[in-house]
Structure 1
Amino acid sequence: MSTATGTPVFVTVGGDASAATATYTPSGATDSTTIALGDLAASVASNTTAVAAAATNASAAVTTAKAASSAATTAASNAASALSVANAAVPSTEILDSSGNLVVKTGALRLNYDTSVAATAQVQFYSSGGTKTDGFLSCVGGTGAGNGQMWLGCSQLACYAAFPLGTATFPFSGAVLQSAVQVVSDINDKTIVGTIGSSDYTAETTKLRTAWAAISGAVYTLNFSTNKRNHIGVIAQTVQAAFTAQGLDPSDYGLWCSTPKTRAVTSTADGATTITEEPVYEADGKTQATQQTVRYEELLSLGIFCERLERADLAARVTALEAKSTAATATTSTAFTTA
């Protein structure tokens, strides 16, 4: 055998060649390798058997995959049939719209509901048993008597995280309560900035008293109300101007508020109705309009303390005038006695 060119080549052949060896350098290697032809033949035979077994296994795997694909197709067909049966059992006109959204066009959507409530459209959720002593939410639609209302029942309605009830743009039209509203007033929740009328708050007190005196009362009707009853109160812009005239920034005081104005916009896409809140702009189309509001309890609190100071000033003046009058009378009496 010759390896002059790096590739083993038989020069003569005869007898048992299994013990013959071939020495060569694999491509990319630096060291030569020697292998007996008998070992090489055994390796080839072993690899041939492994390849045959792999081919058999691959064929079996293809057969299994085809069977699985057929089973999956059958399962999909069965699922489609089951869905068709389910939709036929629950009319889509009552439960699902064209986009598959869960809706109720007639009747009611109820969860453990109160059967004593009858209306054309209801959404009812009861915490248990379906009695009015449970925590419940009931929304009753329609235009008949007692309809178009939302009922809420619970022993206590609490706010997990502080947030406003209503907004300046979307306010509630009114509130009817059995007792007065409580406002957090604990000293541990406040930092005192000044006391109206105290000697160390004289300059601010004077400005606040002057601002209060400049706020005029107004009798008005509400433009957005169909009931044109007369209301008595103040105009937020008047409060703003009164504070500004005294060099006070009204936004530093919680009795006056100005909130960016927005509006609700309803749009429909793919059969679904969406309500979004969008800004309302001034006539220039760039500046966002604002909605001014007043916290009356704070404004009236200012008025109470200002009026208390006014009464104290008047009382002091009356006392001084009475003292002066008494002194003048005493002097006159003495003059007549001397004469």
Structure 2
Amino acid sequence: MSNELVLVTGGSGFIGAHCILHLLEVGYHVRTTVRSLKRELEVRAMLKVGGSNPGDRLSFFAADLTAEAGWPEAVAGCDFVLHVASPLPPSLPKNENEIIIPAREGTLRVLRAARDTGVKRVVLTSSFAAIGYGQKPRNGPFNETDWTDPNGDDLMAYTKSKTLAERAAWDFIAKEGGRLELSTVNPVGVFGPVLGPDYSASILLIQRLMDGALPGCPKLNFGVVDVRDVASLHLLAMTHPAAKGERFLATAGDFMWIREMAEVLKDRMGEPARRAPTKELPNWLLRLASLRDPAIKLILPELGKVKNATNAKAVRMLGWTPRSREDALVATAESLVRLRLLKDSSKAS
């Protein structure tokens, strides 16, 4: 195993860095792509926080999802590819194609390079966004046979981008993939230990709850999974013979309301979570606030909607055993305290 080489695209991201950590821990050599090689020190610093000093077992290549340059070189000689990188702009794009085109074309670039250089299998980091949106309300949980309707009402550009990128990946494999194999991992909201100040929107929610930056909890319901379990599922999807040609939902259990998340934090974290609100905000108040804040407008279509998803397939086929939802949320909060990323973290730690 130690002689096998794995490329992780987007190594500076939250999921990408944890995938690198997990691969190194079990003995792989790892290569990662970053948009600029200036980020190597930053990525190595994140890995150090995660307890790893890989030295020359980790190498860096510059490649961008929006350009061909660098991808053939980054993929050459690799046994497997974890394609984790995905464009997520810091603000709302004026045109949804600003995020859809790089996601879809970037995925195809990686798959073409992997096919042409003899990679065995690519694991694509997709999302629950490609499974559970743009459809009529339902009682049962979503599973891997479900697909988001990209033409559905009120879909965010990010949701469309993940759906269209994954669709394009499966189409590519079916029509021109050759011997290349594909699996996808579709996480819900990803939480868990933060390795540095650059993290995902789900972590920002916990930070804002802990900081008391929210006057109350929006009536939003979504899934929770620990980033370390997302990384372990990527490895299972990469190596397990049964994972070829399959999608796997990464969720730790039933979906939760934000109010329930705040209650877990207050119960398990004590003093550092004293500011977390546990009152639910009425939907009309958020609709009013959205007139002044475009970011709030994004969540309006999901207010009050109950959704769920099942991890039964990953558990049954691959033996995946995720941590509990509560432990994932607490690990997030503990890391924010430890890295002093909260307003009061100097006192709290």
> Aligning the two structures, in what range does the TM-score lie when normalised by the shorter sequence?
under 0.3
Q: With structure 1 as the length reference, what TM-score do the two structures score?
A: 0.19
Tell me: higher relative CO, structure 1 or 2? Use CA pairs within 8 A at least 6 residues apart.
Answer: 2
| Structure possessing the higher radius of gyration over alpha carbons | 1
As a proportion of its length, which structure holds more helix?
A: 2
Q: With structure 2 as the length reference, what TM-score do the two structures score?
A: 0.18
